[in-house]
Structure formats: structure tokens, C-alpha cells
Amino acid sequence: MHSQRISTTTHLLEDSSEPDQTPVSSPLAPVSLLGASKSDQDQKQKPIAKKDKVQAILKGIKQSPKKVNLVATLVRGMLVKDALMQLQLTVKRAAKTVFQVINSAKANASHNHGLDSERLIVDEAFVGKGYFKKRVNIHGKGKCGMKVRPECRLTVVLREITPEEEAKIARLRVHNYKKLTKREIKLVPHQLIESNPVWGRKNRSSGQNASAAAS
């Protein structure tokens, strides 16, 4: 009969009792990470870095890039809370679109990346050209032409205001906001002015009702 050999750890325990031996870490994974996937383990081991800039993009805007860029230029460089108030009072069709994109970028920054929503500033707001669809335009006398339906996309990039910019705002507040440059005007809390269109069916009817009520 062949002799059966049984492996024991007696000699290992004897060697570990020596003072010169140092404990060796186990190559096995800890119990808390046994059921987790590899991506979950990487996320637990590596700390999540805080982003400096957060962006939101809206594609397929059915409007001319030039018209959307007029509103994007208005709020570029403003604080987010001032930009949202200004867009609510701006009488432009693109103001509603820019408002939605800035509000979405603000939610991304505060909810997903932990940025302070009160200190956010519109760092970039630029418009890109989209698909220009060509359609048939019917003319008189059996003739036809071509009309273009433009599309564009809007990108808004937000970041937190720097301590240097906060110090500049405090210095301008001391001087009562006098002699401001174009960039400094957008940093300070500005006076919002509501403007109405020159002519409109709804505005004319409301004006007539208001004059009748006053009389």
C-alpha cells in the first residue's frame, strides 16, 4: 500500500514564532469586496475627483444659430442666478431654450459633481451649426424655389467663481459700482429691465383692457 501523506501547517506555525519573521498580507480579497464587480472595486479604491467645469449640451434646436447666439452672448460671464433672472425677462424666442440649458447645467453641477449652486458662473456659452434642411418653396405661375430650415446646438459650461473674482466684486461694491468695464458689469448684480415688444395682438388687447379698467 502506498503511504498517504497529509500536509500540515505545524512547521509553518513553528517558523512564524521566530522574532525575525514579519507577517505577510493575505493575497485573498476582503469579504466586503467578494460580491462586488471590478468597476465597483475601482470606484471604492479611487477617490472621485471634483470637476472644475460642468457642461450641458442641447442639440437639434430649430432656430438660426445667429439668433440663439444673441441670447447666449447676453448671459456669457454672468452669475447663474443673475443669468436665469435675465432670461426670464428677455423678450426673445431663444431665451427659453438658453434658460433650459443653463438650468440643466446647474442641476448637473450641484447634484452630480457637488458644486455650490450659489457660486456658479457661466464660463462659456457658444452656439454651433447643425443640420440645415432644404425644403421646396412653392411660388406662383407653376414655379418653385428652395427654402432652408436651420438647426443649431447650444453648449453651456459652468464653473465656480474664483476668490480673485469675489475680491473684485467686493472692491467694486465699495466704490458703488462706478466706472465698470464690460466684463465687470456682468459680474456685479445688475438691474433687470423688462422690455415688451413694440407690437403684438395680445399686448394691444391687454393694453385696451387696462385703459378701459382705468377709465
Return the domain boundaries, the chain.
Answer: 53-161
Q: How big is the chain by its Cα radius of gyration, in Å?
A: 32
Contact between residue 53 and residue 156 where contact means Cβ atoms under 8 Å apart = no
CATH code linked to domain 53-161: 3.90.470.10
CA distance 125 to 97: 12
User: Is the pLDDT assigned to residue 3 strictly greater than 90?
Assistant: no
Predicted pLDDT at 105: 95
Q: What is the mean pLDDT of the chain?
A: 78
State the pLDDT confidence band at 8, using cuts at 50, 70 and 90: low
Predicted pLDDT at 49: 63
Give whichever of 28-37, 153-162, 172-181, 198-207 has the largest mean pLDDT. Answer: 153-162
